[in-house]
Every structure is written in structure tokens, then in C-alpha cells.
Amino acid sequence: MTATATTSLVRRSVNVVMLGLTAVCAAVTVAALLFILAYLLYQGGSSLNIAFFTKLPTPVGEAGGGMANALVGSAKLLALAAAIGIPLGFMAGLYIAEFASPMPAFALRYATDLLNGVPSIVIGIFAYTLVVLPMKHFSTLAGGVALAIMMIPVTVRGTEEFLRAVPASLREGSLALGAPKWMTIARVVVPAASRGILTTVLLGLARVAGETAPLLFTALNNRFWSRGWVEPTASLPVMIFTYAIAPYEDWVRQAWAAALVLLALVLAANIGARVLFRRPAATTS
Amino acid sequence: MAVRTPSPIARSGFDRGSSQADASAPRPVKIMAADLSLFYGEKQALHGVTMNIAANQVTALIGPSGCGKSTFLRTLNRMNDIIPKTRITGAVTVDGRDIYTPGLDVVALRRRVGMVFQRSNPFPKSIFDNVAYGIRVNRMASSRGDLNHRVEQSLRRAALWDEAKDRLHESALSLSGGQQQRLCIARALAVEPEVLLMDEPASALDPIATQRIEELIYELKREYTIVIVTHNMQQAARVSDVTAFFWLGKLVEIGPTESLFTNPREKLTDDYVTGRFG
């Protein structure tokens, strides 16, 4: 009788302790995000003004100025990363999911995972060797290539995963109507997977939008507007890096503002992706 | 033990000129399987099935789970091709032509031999686009008007037009389970097949939806040759003219539905249809 009561007590206290522990850990996770948001709002909010979005950076000592060039630079880098990385990654994912036999598919999937694990600084060095050295100067192009390489594995795995998730019954339904395989893929399988693929791609873009290391020696930085694709360019992450470690109070405040803007954009893309491409509820009968 | 029984239809051969109303009357052979065996890798799923399927009749395939009836059905439009490592021996002919002959256009075959699946599988597109899919894929419509006409005809033949005509551009997934299955039938009919293979088309439906499907099958056999796999023996008895009983990958017995159910030649068939096993 007492033995049972003791075990019961032990069991219940272990339950309380473990439950508490997991709850605290969950709270810490959320708190980290909330803390970052609140701190950025507090530090950066006051430095944020219209000039930040419309003006170029000012020389040291001169007050005011903004990061319009960095905003445009980041947008161009991301556009390039998307234009190169998404088609490549999508086609590769399509190949792995629909056409490759098991062994090559396994090898390709493994290689993609490895590429995904390559430190971003190493990808920067690779893009440096590939683009900057032959062209002999830093450029938007080089930065875009570096970010594109980071987009490829994300897109490949997202595409493959969501194509595989398309029920076999849909493929069979199409094949049974006399549709060839390629048409089945183009008209039934890919459209059915498109929501998931677009979500992954958008989340991937939001992820690389904050990458700094691969841009340091590819896109470098630029205090002025970067024309075309072959000049060095400013970007939000590199601007934050440069300004945050500068010894000027004015620059540090601008770095906070830039960090706030970057985080806001990334969060917006994240939330946007999830809302826009959310599966319509209850599709099964 | 199971033996291959020549069907009464096979014996009567190509005797035409029988009345449509008489279900047991001989009709021309549409599909013929000769000593057909199928292997999934090492595992043999069909053992030397020989069977004739008559035109404009409903042939039901019955038998316990895993007896090979669905596998057999899927050999008739080569849907097993898409499962890796399948291999067949023997022959299947449609209108006298071997469909496993090298170089045969599988895509063209599947247009002639349509299929409706166990779980309704409408594409996540509108009702209209579901039916139009096969028409577009096979470039059958000469104009936008022709396409609309074909879609309407298909929906009418599948007895879905009245329920769907005001919501053609809504998602097919908004239809009920029974409506979705009729949509899949409409979609299959839209490409003007000669044969319709149905793999337990009503097993996921409630009794009322099932009854509608069965009525539809009865209507459709005037124009199509129908082969239906069913778990439900009452259903086989209700809708089919000829029934084939499969067991462990072998065709045990085939015959006019009425005599197979009331007076089977094989002990195994008798045991199965009277519910002693399976």
C-alpha cells in the first residue's frame, strides 16, 4: 500500500518536473524571438525614418542619410539568386522525384544535403573564385551567384518532397486518361505540388536574404548606387555588419534600423508564404 | 484445386445477333487474356489466367483481398507498367491485337481502355477542367464550343450534369464522395473509351451513392464494355452479366453471373459465394 503510494508520488513529481522543464524550454524559444523583435524595435525604431528608405549613406560625421542603395542592392541580389537558383533547383528536384532511378536519386539527394550543409562563407569563396577572380572585380552578379548556390539545395529538396507527396492516385488518374508521363507531370503533378514548392522557395529566399558571409567578398559593398549587375553593391546584411562595428554612434543607430527593416521583411515573407499558400481546409471527403 | 475453366462466352465465340436484353446471350469477345501471368519482382501475382471478356457486357471480378483481381484489371490497360519490376508472360488482346507487343502505343491503349479507381481521384482543378483534361490532352475538341459540348455530354452520361451544371467552375473537391466518383467516370468517358475498367468504384461510398453508381453501370453497358472489380458479392450479382472468381492469383471459375452464384461448378467458388471463407 505505502509502496504504491510512494511510486505514485514519485511518478507525479517526475511528471510535474518534466512538464515544467519542457514548458520553460518552449517559453525560452518564443522569448528569444520576442526579445530580438522588441530590442530591434526599441533600438532601431527611433532611427527609422523616410530618409532611411530614400537616401544614400552620408559620409562619416555628416548626420542623416539612409540605406536606399542597400535595399535595392538586396532586392537585386535576391532577384538574381531566385532567377538562377530556383529553375536549377526545381528542375533537379523534378529529375530526382520523377525520373531518376533509385541509386542516382539517392546520390543526388545526398549531394544536395551536403551542399545544404556547406558553410555559407565557403560558398562565398566558391563564388569569389568562380565570378570575382575572372571578372577581376566584385559585383552584384557574384553575390547573386553565391546566394543562388544557397538557394539550390533548398529548392531541390522542397520540390522533390512536395512532388513525392502528390498521391499516386492522381498520377494514375491522368495516365489512365491517355496522358503521357511528361504531360501528367506538367499538368497534374506539378500544379498539385505548386503550393508547397512555392512556400519552400519563398522561405528559402527569406533565409538567404539575411546571409552576410557569402556577400562579403562577392558583392562587397558600395556607398553609392550600383548600376547594372557588374558593379559592387551594398546589401542590407553587409551594411548592418559594416555599420554595427563602426566606431560612430550615428552608424550604429543606422545599423539597428537596418536590422529592424531586414527582420521585418524576412518575417513578412515568412508569414506571407504561410498565409498565401496555405492548403485549403478539408480537401478529402 | 483451381483450374482454368473455358468461359461459355469463349465457346460461343463471335456469334453476333443476339438480343440486347438477354444478358446471358453470347456476344463478341472484346478482350482476351491467354495464359497471363504477372510477377512483382519474385512474387507471382497472377498464374496463367485465360479469360474472354465480351463486348457490351459487365464482367465482374470477385475474390478475397490479394487474389489478383485488381492486378488482372490493371493488366488490361497496362497500368501495372508504372509499378517498377513488374513482368508478365502470356498475352492480352483487345479486339484481337496484343497489347503487350513491343512498340505498342500505351498512351493510345489507355485512351481506348479507360479506368475508374477505388478512391475517387479528381484532380485539384475545377469540375469542368477535370472532365476537359482528357479531351485536351488527346486534342479531341475542334473548338471551344466542341469542348463545352463534350464536357456536358460526359457529365450527362455520368448522371452528374444536373448536379454540376451550375458549379462547373468550382473545385472538384467541393463535390461529395459519390459525386466525385461520378465525376471520375465522366472524366473517363470524355475520352470516348471502348472499355471501362472499374476498380471497386463504390467501395468508399455510402449505399445511396453506391446505388447511383450501379444504375450508371447498368446504363453504360449499352455503349461500353465494362470490367468491374468488387468486394461486394451482392454488387456483382446486381450489376454484372458475367462473373469471374479469382483465388490466390488464379482464375477459378467464370460464367454467367446467375449460374455462378446459384450453381457454381467449383467447390471453391461455392464456398466463397456462400460466405464460408474470404
- Tens-digit pLDDT profile for residues B60-89: 999 998 899 999 999 999 999 888 889 999
Q: Does the CB of B177 have a partner CB in chain A at under 8 Å?
A: yes
pLDDT in tens, A79-112: 999 999 999 999 999 999 999 999 999 999 999 9
Question: What pLDDT is stored for residue B21 in this prediction?
Answer: 44
Site from A98, A174, A177, A284 to mutate, B interface, most B CB atoms within 10 angstroms: A177
At A151, is the pLDDT very low, low, confident or very high (cuts 50, 70, 90)? very high
With a cut of 70, say whether residue A178 has pLDDT above it. Answer: yes
Do A175 and B111 count as a contact with CB atoms less than 8 A apart?
Answer: no
- The CB density around residue B186, as the number of other CB atoms within 10 Å, is 27
With a cut of 60, say whether residue A282 has pLDDT above it. Answer: no
Domain ranges of chain B: 8-119+193-273
Euclidean distance between CA atoms A93 and A95, whole angstroms: 5
At A281, is the pLDDT very low, low, confident or very high (cuts 50, 70, 90)? very low
Asked if residue B173 lies in contact with residue A283, where contact means CB atoms within 8 angstroms, the answer is: yes
Give B93→chain A minimum CA distance, Å. Answer: 18
Q: Would you call B27 helix, strand, or coil by DSSP? A: coil
Question: What pLDDT is stored for residue A265 in this prediction?
Answer: 93
Q: At B57, list the grid cell.
A: 457486357
The CATH homologous superfamily to which domain A53-276 belongs is MetI-like (1.10.3720.10)
Q: What percent of chain A is predicted at pLDDT more than 90?
A: 82
Q: What percent of chain A is predicted at pLDDT more than 70?
A: 96
Identify the residue with better confidence: A210 or B84: A210
Could you report the average pLDDT of every consecutive run of 10 residues in chain B (278 residues)? 42 38 67 95 94 95 92 95 90 94 92 93 95 95 95 93 95 94 95 95 88 91 94 92 95 94 92 82
pLDDT in tens, A185-209: 999 999 999 999 999 999 999 999 9
Residue type, A81: A
Residue type, B16: R
Give A153→chain B minimum CA distance, Å. Answer: 28
Question: What pLDDT is stored for residue A276 in this prediction?
Answer: 80
A184 to chain B: nearest residue by CA? B137
Residue type, B155: L
Q: Cα dihedral sign for B65, B68, B74, B80?
A: positive
CA of A1: how far to CAs of A9, A48, B147, in Å? 12, 68, 80
Do B111 and A187 count as a contact with CB atoms less than 8 A apart?
Answer: no
Of B82, B176, B191, the CB nearest to A178: B191
Asked if residue B61 lies in contact with residue B69, where contact means CB atoms within 8 angstroms, the answer is: yes
Mean pLDDT, chain A, whole residue set: 92
Question: What pLDDT is stored for residue B10 in this prediction?
Answer: 40
With a cut of 90, say whether residue A285 has pLDDT above it. Answer: no
**Mean pLDDT on A240-246:** 93
CA of B107: how far to CAs of A175, B154, B189, B269, in Å? 8, 20, 16, 36
Q: Does the CB of A99 have a partner CB in chain B at under 8 Å?
A: no
Do B133 and A174 count as a contact with CB atoms less than 8 A apart?
Answer: yes
CA of B241: how far to CAs of B15, B112, B202, B255, in Å? 17, 22, 18, 9
| Chain A positions in Cβ-Cβ contact with residue B184 (cut-off 8 Å) | 173
At A1, is the pLDDT very low, low, confident or very high (cuts 50, 70, 90)? low
Question: What pLDDT is stored for residue A65 in this prediction?
Answer: 85
pLDDT in tens, A10-30: 999 999 999 999 999 999 999
Q: Which fold has domain B8-119+193-273?
A: Rossmann fold (3.40.50)
CB pairs under 8 A between A and B: 75
Q: Does the CB of B184 have a partner CB in chain A at under 8 Å?
A: yes
